[in-house]
Amino acid sequence: MKSEFMLNVHGVGVRVEGPAKIVEWLRHDYGYFEGVASGVKLTVKADVAVPDLSKEPDVSASLYHEDYVAYDSGGIRYVVYFNGAFCVYEPGNSLMTVTASDLSVLYDVLHTALESKLGDLLDGKGLHRVHALAFTVDSFPVVVLLPVGGGKTTLALALLKREGVRLISEDTPLVSRDGRIFAFPSRLGVRNRDEAKSFEGNVRTFQRAGHGEKTLVSAEAFSDKIQKEAGPPYVLILGSRRSKGGLVFSPSGKFAALPRLLKNMILGLELPQALAYFMGLSFRENLSRLPSFWGRGVAALRLLNYSSIYSASFGSDIDQSVDMLIGEVRKKCPRKN
């Protein structure tokens, strides 16, 4: 049975069509943004079937990745995944068609592809992702830069239990070129199901090949604790992990923050994006993306300029670390109205 739903992500319209179960799963991930925008910028079609690889052109590969190989021909990109999925991406028609014989494989590829293209389209609107955890304490915005595996999701789950705290994004808040921050809440993925106990009714499990089982918490579970938008000044935290104890918090500076923003935002090296849907099909198309990188740089410098910068090392006692962090923010920053 086929189904569809529409997304309105800060004015970027996306239509998703596919099997009812796939649409249900993607709605679980992106339900916060369900709605109709003024125009559809991307249509994603999904089908559970054995991929028809006869469509694959007889050309040399244009992109190689550990998960796929991509081939370009006639303004179309054909992405052949090693897990059995196949995507035909037509940039000129703003159309992405993904096929796989396994529902879980189909969902996994769709989620990554959709997140990649959303980031690309939001870049075009002047809203740029930064790989970070962002939240407010008494309406005062805080951005924590942490590497992959640094514990952003665990911190976010703990923060959501605290009074006076609202979540902007657990993984990819959006920064505009004038320095404002916008919400991008998606599902939270945790490996320990016990962490999601308080969200029962808004969770599902997903088994990803090579990554083990994850429990996915829908953003609808905490929609009443989402901060849609925030303005300066900010607290920008350069985060790291410690093996023991609570939080170690100290002042830092802009020169220390700049390399982290270069990696986490301007170059987007840790952003959830697949090159197959970000890299253009021609040299000219890639040149046309330079303004997006320029915009990321402008937004990053605005964020840097509007921030008080600190270093924070989070220990294994997450509750203690979170309580200490909230205390430090309240102590050092004026309460916003």
pLDDT tens sequence across 101-112: 999 999 999 999
Dig out the tokens for 265 from the structure. 């935002």
pLDDT at 106: 94
Q: What is the pLDDT of residues 62-74, one digit of tens each?
A: 999 999 999 999 9
Neighbouring C-beta atoms of residue 298, cutoff 10 Å: 18
* Averaged pLDDT for residues 82-99: 94
Residue 16 has pLDDT above 60, yes or no: yes
The Cα 245–Cα 259 span in angstroms is 27
On whether the CB atoms of residues 95 and 15 are closer than 8 A, the answer is no
Confidence of residue 7 (pLDDT cuts 50, 70, 90): very high
Q: What is the pLDDT of residues 144-183, one digit of tens each?
A: 999 888 889 889 999 999 999 999 999 999 999 999 999 9
Residue 212 has pLDDT above 90, yes or no: no
Dig out the tokens for 49 from the structure. 């079937």
CA distances from 81 to 88, 97, 147 (A): 11, 13, 26
Give the neighbor-by-neighbor strand order of the sheet with 174-176: 127-129, 174-176, 181-182, 229-230
Map out the domains of the chain as residue ranges. Answer: 2-125, 128-185+226-332, 186-219
Looking at the DSSP assignment, which residues form a beta bridge with residue 139? none
Residue 205 has pLDDT above 80, yes or no: no
For helices 20-30 and 103-124, angle between their N-to-C axes, nearest 10 degrees = 40
* Averaged pLDDT for residues 312-319: 90
- DSSP codes of every residue in 198-243: GGTTSEEEEEETTTEEEEEE-GGGGGGGB--EE-S-EEEEEEEE-S
Return contacts of 279-288, CB within 8 angstroms, 24+ apart: 279/63, 280/91, 281/62, 281/72, 281/75, 281/76, 281/77, 281/91, 285/91
Residues recorded for the chain: 337
pLDDT at 209: 63
Residue 196 has pLDDT above 70, yes or no: no
Neighbouring C-beta atoms of residue 66, cutoff 10 Å: 5
pLDDT at 286: 74
pLDDT at 138: 93
pTM given for the model: 0.91
pLDDT at 210: 61
* Averaged pLDDT for residues 35-51: 90
The Cα 237–Cα 300 span in angstroms is 14
- Name every residue whose Cβ is closer than 8 Å to that of residue 197 and which is 6 or more positions away in sequence: none
Residue 33 has pLDDT above 80, yes or no: yes
Confidence of residue 334 (pLDDT cuts 50, 70, 90): low
Whole-number average pLDDT of the chain: 89
Residue 237 has pLDDT above 90, yes or no: yes
Looking at the DSSP assignment, which residues form a beta bridge with residue 47? 99
CA distances from 194 to 157, 191, 200, 217, 222 (A): 11, 9, 10, 12, 17
Residue 99 has pLDDT above 70, yes or no: yes
Q: What is the dihedral of CA 319, 323, 325, 331, to 10 degrees?
A: -170
Percent of the chain predicted with pLDDT > 90: 64
Q: What is the pLDDT of residues 259-291, one digit of tens each?
A: 999 999 999 888 878 888 877 777 777 777 788
